[in-house]
Structure 1
């Protein structure tokens, strides 16, 4: 694998960076470029961030890999990654959910009506989505979901609950999985729906996490959805969910922030003294940093394997699981190392006197935990790798 970018790719990177420089001069820049938000920096959860996404669309950075028939540019998969790497490096919203998850799944499985209605809006960043998969009793085992969809005329009546639905408090539309058949194998009776989140009967309640990151629980009380908003075939939603989760891991987990996190720690250790010399000069510290640096390069290699798989037209199921597992756990380990190496002051928050690094590491320690859960926990990624890559049997 050649890890060097071509001249065309490097020129494209410069285009993205020039765009970000212009955006950095706008009044809303501090709201947009916020790497301290850690994992939820990717969200377009304010009007300023949504406007930034619209500017991304106007600049032609959305739908780069889509077919031309849907308004895309048919560029290789690496171009989506190049954009996301630059966005993630400054803490700006990423392009993944609408373009890489809902958009690509609709292109493969959606009706002509859904394509006409949603694909242009996605390209223009006119719509935000929430993903409705997990339930109180169906998190890692999504196939155990119980939110019920019962036939009602030319549509379906929904009753039940979802949880851990980040974006449900500000999104426009719901990408929702529900059980439409309880008589057969649990994987066979799930259907995907699309419905507006402001619809009568939907109640959204906040769940605050340890990372100051809001997610939500959502309740459905006789919510009706038309057959027009069923994605693909009834009872075949499980395969679409698995495909969409692969797109999520492919689109939303980037390499740049992990590298920047390690670079920031190295710089801080060079300028923080213990026993009369910088911490970076202590042998134990150097050993820790050497191990982390090696793992960062490994994460870069795994990310490039995802890109290669996508460029070949494959859904990078195993590759994206490996990349997601490695990069998110590495981010957490870098934050843990910062706590160990910098001492008790690293536990102090931004507002506490005497903090180290302006409280960034205390914030990072909490934020990186969330990264290992969203898009499928680390345990789920290990199961995917064991079963699909190593061909190991399911545990008895």
Structure 2
């Protein structure tokens, strides 16, 4: 696979780099550029981060792969990949679920009304979305969801619960999967709706996670939704959800943070001594570093397969699943190795005296567990690879 960048692509990277260098001098850059944070750095969950996204929109960086008729510039998907990698390297908010999951799914399946209402807002970063998929008894088995959508005059009424909705406390709109037909096989009775997050029938409760990230439970009590906010066709939602998750993995799981994290750890270990000698001189430590270095290179190649598929106009389902599975587990392996190599000091948390990298590795150990769950658990990725990639039957 030839992944050398063209002259135009290299020029684009230079342009984005110059833009981010300029942004780094902004008074609030400490908020929207945070390379030492874990996955929460990608969210536009503060006024400064939303303002940064609006400046990206003004530069034409949002929706670059969309067709011109929808306000995009019809650039190949490689440009969104290059943008996201530069953003991820700075710890800045990524182009997000609005451009990928929501926008691209609306372009493929949404009504003209939904396209006209939401696509311009996505391009200008005037709207943030939350994804309403997981439920208390329907996490990895998403098709088992039970949030009920009942037919009503001119629309639907939704009752039930969602859980682990990460953006619910700051999003403007809710992209929700609900059961519209309980009498058909579970994959065939699901529909997708768009609901304003300030709907009086929604109640949001915070869920604290072991990685210090906030997520939420959302309760639906007689939430009325008009037919014009149904996405695509009734009972075709499973297809839309799967496509949206594929776009989410493509958009969110960049490789630059893994590369950066590995380099930061290697630099730290070169400065760490134990028993009068540098820890990297230990043959066992050196062997483990070599294995992780090879894994980082493998992650880069898997991510590039995702980009190649997306740039051809395909939905990178299997490629995204392979990369998501491998990269998130690699993140865990790097964090595990960091604590082993650093010894007891590695367990010190942020603010503790003598904590290596101010507790980065203790936090990473907790936070990377969540990465293997969000966007579809590792078990889900294995099923996608088995069924779609290898053609294996369901049990």
TM superposition score normalised by structure 1: 0.99
Q: Equivalent residues in 2 for 1:293-372 (5 A)? A: 293-372=293-372
**Who is 2:183 aligned against?**
183
**Who is 1:280 aligned against?**
280
Q: Following the alignment from structure 1 to structure 2, what is the Cα–Cα distance between the partners of residues 393 and 101? A: 27
**Who is 1:90 aligned against?**
90
| Mapped contact 1:346–1:357 kept (Cα < 8 A) | no
**Who is 1:380 aligned against?**
380
The Cα shift of 1:3 comes to: 2.7
Q: Equivalent residues in 2 for 1:1-396 (5 A)? A: 1-395=1-395
The Cα shift of 1:346 comes to: 0.6
| Mapped contact 1:77–1:307 kept (Cα < 8 A) | yes
Cα deviation 1:300-340 (Å, max 9, x = unaligned): 00011111111111101000000111111101110100000
The Cα shift of 1:34 comes to: 1.1
| Mapped contact 1:128–1:172 kept (Cα < 8 A) | yes
SS across alignment from 2:221: strand
The Cα shift of 1:35 comes to: 2.2
The Cα shift of 1:9 comes to: 1.0
The Cα shift of 1:138 comes to: 0.5
Cα deviation 1:160-192 (Å, max 9, x = unaligned): 000000100000000001111111111111110
SS across alignment from 1:337: helix
SS across alignment from 2:3: coil
Cα deviation 1:332-390 (Å, max 9, x = unaligned): 11010000011010110111112112111011111111111110001111111111111
The Cα shift of 1:129 comes to: 0.2
The Cα shift of 1:394 comes to: 1.5
| Mapped contact 1:346–1:361 kept (Cα < 8 A) | yes
Q: Following the alignment from structure 1 to structure 2, what is the Cα–Cα distance between the partners of residues 34 and 312? A: 32
Q: Following the alignment from structure 2 to structure 1, what is the Cα–Cα distance between the partners of residues 237 and 163? A: 19
SS across alignment from 1:177: strand
The Cα shift of 1:142 comes to: 0.8
| Alignment coverage as a number of residue pairs | 395
Superposed CA RMSD: 0.8
Runs of 4+ in 1 over 3 A off after TM superposition: none
The Cα shift of 1:273 comes to: 0.8
Q: Following the alignment from structure 1 to structure 2, what is the Cα–Cα distance between the partners of residues 13 and 363? A: 31
SS across alignment from 1:157: strand
The Cα shift of 1:4 comes to: 2.1
Q: Following the alignment from structure 2 to structure 1, what is the Cα–Cα distance between the partners of residues 96 and 10? A: 21
The Cα shift of 1:74 comes to: 0.7
SS across alignment from 1:314: coil
Q: Point out the more displaced range, 76-85 or 384-393.
A: 384-393
Cα deviation 1:129-165 (Å, max 9, x = unaligned): 0000111011011111111111110011111000000
The Cα shift of 1:96 comes to: 2.6
Q: Following the alignment from structure 2 to structure 1, what is the Cα–Cα distance between the partners of residues 213 and 38? A: 9
The Cα shift of 1:40 comes to: 1.4
- Residue segments in structure 1 that go unaligned for 5+ positions in a row: none
Q: Following the alignment from structure 1 to structure 2, what is the Cα–Cα distance between the partners of residues 225 and 137? A: 24
| Mapped contact 1:140–1:376 kept (Cα < 8 A) | yes
Cα deviation 1:249-290 (Å, max 9, x = unaligned): 111100100000110111001111112221112211110010
- Residue segments in structure 2 that go unaligned for 5+ positions in a row: none
Cα deviation 1:73-109 (Å, max 9, x = unaligned): 1111111010100111111100030001100000000
